[in-house]
Amino acid sequence: MRIPVRFELNGHAVEVEVAPDRTLLDLLRDTMGETGTKEGCREGECGACTVVVDGRAVNSCLFPAPEIDGTRVLTIEGLSCDHGRLSRVQQAFLDASGTQCGFCTPGMVMTAVAFLAENPAPMDTEIREALTGNLCRCTGYVQIVEAIQLAARRSRDPQA
């Protein structure tokens, strides 16, 4: 059995059929070919699969694909626009060395995007709290927190 779903993916209307036991992560990577969203634990522990659904950061590995019907989904592919220029958060990760091997980075960035939309002037403690569901084995998190602070400063002052 397959279930028809309609949703918006990175600003584009999408209509597909999904099996009831598939996740949003499967739908994005296997059906839509959007492999920027990473598959880590598949258990909701690592955050590598984080995408933004209706403004909220979610673990796509735990999100049933049929429930995506009627939503707006933003993935890492949806951030780079304007002829390939990086988004503010992506550029800040680059400038603050917030990425090393890069596996966790799409999930970190998407968590940051949803978080900064709600809290554009966060304290470091609030950033660390927002990142509790995202694991990084490389950076020690310091540069990631700095990157998110940098993105927040630049949203208030583009010269920062």
Residue 108 or 116: the one with the smaller Cβ distance to ligand FES is 108
- Three-state DSSP at 93 gives helix
The pattern of x and - marking residues 73 through 102 that bind ligand FES according to CB under 6 A reads --------------------------xxxx
Rule CB under 6 A: choose which of 52, 58, 61, 74 binds ligand FES.
61
Q: Under rule CB under 6 A, how many of the chain's residues touch ligand FES?
A: 23
Reported as type and span, the H/E element at residue 53 is strand 50-53
Q: Residues 25, 63: contact at Cβ < 8 Å?
A: yes
The residue among 11 and 61 lying less far from ligand FES, judged by its C-beta, is 61
Least Cβ distance, residue 66 to ligand FES (angstroms): 18
Site string for ligand FES, 125-144 (x = CB under 6 A): -----------xxxx-----
Interacting residues with ligand FES between 5 and 44 (CB under 6 A): 39-42, 44
Long-range contacts of 92-96 (CB under 8 A, 24+ apart): 92/147, 92/148, 92/150, 92/151, 92/154, 93/144, 93/147, 93/151, 95/147, 95/150, 96/143, 96/146, 96/147, 96/150
Query: Closest distance between ligand FES and the C-beta of residue 44, in Å?
Result: 5
Token pair, residue 114, equals 């949803």
Q: State how far the Cα of 4 lies from the Cα of 66, in Å rounded to an integer.
A: 8
Binding site for ligand FES (CB under 6 A): 39-42, 44-49, 59, 61, 99-105, 136-139
